[in-house]
Structure 1
Amino acid sequence: MNLLLSFIWVALTGSLYYSNFLFGFLIGFFILWLMNRQETDQRYFNRIPKTIGFILYFLYDIIVANIQVAYDVITPKYFFTPGIICYPLDATSDMEINLLSTIISLSPGTLVLDISEDKKSLYIHVMYLKDKEIFIAQMKNGFEKKLLEILR
């Protein structure tokens, strides 16, 4: 419904720009929120801000990792400390595991190598592994937690 309201806004204003579509999306979100304030099912209105937060977190992580890798490539001394870790999963469904492994692999400096047979852990190659426990805690409280909040 929100996308339909966004397209209606674009059609009424007559300007087909991303910013106009985004503005229409925000207006539609606000209208739907006003109409459904008394409803018990508020999942949509909770997921949209969490999705935007996840996207911003992912973009921040990509920028930081790119700067780290670029600095390591430019300087004559190498700073990377590669390692392979076994990452225990909280994600249970195939879609959750697939999305999490894709997000991890898209981040520079990390690559998912394999998924265990019982789907309880991922094997991840990390380019800058200083401490295994800190990396696992960052992933648990970062990507996995935010992704599962959106999907569940």
Structure 2
Amino acid sequence: MPFQILLNIIIAVMWMFLSETYNFTTFVVGYIIGALMLFVLQRFVPGTFYFKRVVGVVKLILLFARELLLSNLDIVKLAYKPKLDFQPGIFALPIELKSNWEITLLANLISLTPGTLSLEISEDYSKIYIHAMDIPDVEQSINDIKDTFEKAIMEVTR
């Protein structure tokens, strides 16, 4: 991936030299041309096309923003209910992530959304223990995290 980005920047700079215009617009045009060239010739460049990961990172950021907003609304609803009838608890989330970076990112995303907190990661790195403010259904909570954050992280890193 870093090689492809460097190659794309070199193509953009070469485009600036060939067009004899040294401004940001020419660089952007050269960068787009370089990205298209790398996409067409991706069979000859090592690794997968890097723009797929860039799109995955943008999706992960937008997913986190959406989950942050929705969990804030849920917490506000729980806080302003006249009768406190939520069910806090701790559950174990089985994970398929392998690297320390992936696991750390998942644990941080879980902790940054209001109402949930990553407590501990098991010694074999196969589970994350999570405290949630309201758990009506443990299986649903596990599936929600696996279908959103874990899936998005695997799209970015694999």
Length-normalised TM-score, structure 2? 0.76
* Aligned twin of 1:83: 89
Letter in 1 for 2:67: D
Percent identity for Structure 1 against Structure 2: 35
Query: 2:138 aligned to 119, 132, 135, which one?
Result: 132
| SS of structure 2 residue aligned to 1:43 | coil
Offset at 1:79? 4.2
Q: How many residues align?
A: 137
- The equivalent residue for 2:41 is 38
Gaps of 5+ in 1: 6-10, 14-19
What is the aligned counterpart of 1:94 among 84, 96, 100? 100
Between 127-136 and 38-47, the greater mean CA deviation after superposition = 38-47
Question: Which residue is equivalent to 1:56?
Answer: 62
Shift of 1:29: 5.8
The match for 1:104 among 107, 110, 113 is 110
Which residue in the other structure is 1:145 paired with?
151
Q: Secondary structure at the match of 1:114?
A: strand
Counterpart residue number, 1:8: none
Greater Rg by CA: 2
Rounded Cα–Cα distance in structure 2 between residues aligned with 1:91 and 1:32 = 33
Computed over aligned residues only, the root mean square deviation of the Cα atoms, in angstroms, reads 2.5
